[in-house]
Structure 1
């Protein structure tokens, strides 16, 4: 169980408090452990604290796009995942500037035909 907590801590990049650490199981009994993880934004005024989608289809509750791979016109198509592309939903390389400004590492979604 401690390995699970340490793995989650490393994956999420957060420390798991000692009170959330699992208690050892009694001999011969399996134990069920529940752990809740909550993401919190850093309290900064940099561009990284700004929403990732500043302007695309803001009238929608959630923006979801579906593409059928057999409908692609090119053998390889790059789709934007940074929401900065002027040709959204297609990638135009705007993530490069976004990554330099914010320290982010977002890149496009590549779909092959």
Structure 2
């Protein structure tokens, strides 16, 4: 703890007092190479602190593809689709990637999505054990 106290009370003030800070804007152009080297750690630290502060307080836009549903029924607070099980037929594929132009029915749009993103999403496939024609 004594080392930190000495650093803050003695070393840092002595360092700042000995910095070659020019008295005017034109004085910046007159600084020598060794004076620039003395200023480099100070300017670097101020730049780093400014950048970290900026990053902490800036408003960050949501990631581009953070939403799963990019365009389907965006006016609704929740997308819900109901299907009568009797109307399904023998087999139906439902979209799970939210990219289908025939949503909620899958149109294969997940293939392009998977190629672009490296994802592995596919449809939900519902099928009857026996075809509808055999049960009637």
Q: TM-score range by the shorter chain?
A: 0.5 to 0.7
Which of structure 1's runs of 4+ aligned residues deviate more than 3 A?
Answer: none
For 1:64, the equivalent position in structure 2 comes to 80
Tell whether the 8 Å contact from 1:69 to 1:111 is kept in structure 2 after alignment. no
TM-score normalised by the chain length of structure 1? 0.53
For 1:76, the equivalent position in structure 2 comes to 91
Offset at residue 79 of structure 1 (A): 0.8
Match of 1:100 among 108, 115, 136: 115
TM-score normalised by the chain length of structure 2? 0.44
Offset at residue 51 of structure 1 (A): 1.5
For 2:20, the equivalent position in structure 1 comes to none
Query: When the two structures are aligned, how many residues end up with a matched partner?
Result: 68
Offset at residue 66 of structure 1 (A): 2.0
Alignment of 1:14-53 (within 5 A): 49-53=65-69
> Structure 2: which 5+ residue stretches go unaligned?
1-61, 129-136
Higher-Rg member (1/2): 2
Q: What's the CA shift string for 1:56-82, capped at 9, x where partnerless? A: 00011111112222121x300001111
Greater RCO (Cα-Cα under 8 Å, separation 6 or more): 1
